[in-house]
Structure 1
């Protein structure tokens, strides 16, 4: 069995009359990338604070990197990296490079190790143009890249990201996603990602945990979630010649006809039919398929359907 880097067992946290986290039980295998998603107030940030030793659970237990987070908070800090999208671990009036030096000293990195790791992160995150600029003068996208570099400076076993791309433009988000994918491949870093950005979930994680009012509503892959809520995929058929509407194909629903019948869109549920079966029926009707694409369900809509069920 793969060793777990995070274990939550009946984790619960109460604030006065409000139960923020209510009996969460899950584990994250070492080396995995898991998305932790839910609406505002669902309990995501509270869970992360308990897993990192910032908050004490009201009941239940947690192990992160094999340590009890609150009891072994100092030791745990050397094994994890954490980025909170709206909080900073950088020194506001210092250049990024000076923040990295200070953090290197805190984590007791040797001079050579700090130099080599800083150079790697500056290169891979394109920090070179502003690494000597005070943090207060950086754009949001530049600062977030600096935050991620700071969290990874000491080579943590686990990287925890809480809304890391909030407020970033499309280019900055994509640059950060590519970097995180590379880091996992190069260093085997485990990833726990709490986010509202479904693009992050789709691109960066292999498994998702959906939390609703502090309780675990789903644990599995995105494909399994789509199947559970009955969301539909869309096959887009580009035909060589215009054809009448391709309605009445078993297991499908015609949702669009474009360019006078040259392009047709059929939605279908994964358990109702397959693309191969659809193409077989289309071929019997006569029109030749020049090209096809599959549009996956919108993940935000899938999650909304899960909450509604």
Structure 2
């Protein structure tokens, strides 16, 4: 007995409608138990602090506890792999960073595909600050870049291959002819120590780490912030864009990604909760005082951002040959 084309189309449409209803019902019932935010880095950094602020605020909105778990390793791939292989039921989420975009462009092997993780919402960002020792003669980023072009160039501390400071160095090399040799350290705190000890000429570090050495103990001289806007906690520091480096735009951001297959309705619900949390006056005041800018937004906003970053950073990876050999 043959089945008509119209009958097949009707059945397909019916199944799609039932799936949509099921997804909506699942989102209505979600969350019914505690949620996990997986941070792929150690505690205390910008990614971790943003995760905990988002968890605290979103928990109040959703009416369920949100537990933050630190799973560092592999430049963020250990924690990301855990989430990529989790059940897409809305109870395990990744606190993502730039590595979720750039790692697959740089590393020889990845334990999961980029498409195994879906962008959900931006939480916020810690603008990067290019710093040198307080005794350095440079007054701004232009002075530093021009001086690096002389002789063998400068050593520039990074938190490892593919880290934000690594991208800052290569953006200056590729786009503006600087001569910066990236020197990889295990963490931002180690690279900070290298600058303070005079072992390297400079670095770029998250505002939350750099500002105490600028505003409190005065051991760093800041040259520029590399985000598109000035830092709320330090508005006197100009951006690299303002100093004529239009292509130097990068920050230590944190967002949320979900395992592939997670209900769109559930992702939208979490995105709305995080967005609301990032607009709470007490949260905004707390984060901005640390040098962190809360962002929030919609899932569509974050998808647009990650797509643009993937293309932009990919161009730098290729031009600077940042791929693992």
The alignment's TM-score, normalised by the length of structure 2, stands at: 0.21
Structure with the higher strand share, 1 or 2: 1
TM-score, normalised by the number of residues in structure 1:
0.21
Give the structure with higher Rg (CA).
1
User: Relative contact order (C-alpha < 8 Å, sep 6+): which is higher?
Assistant: 2
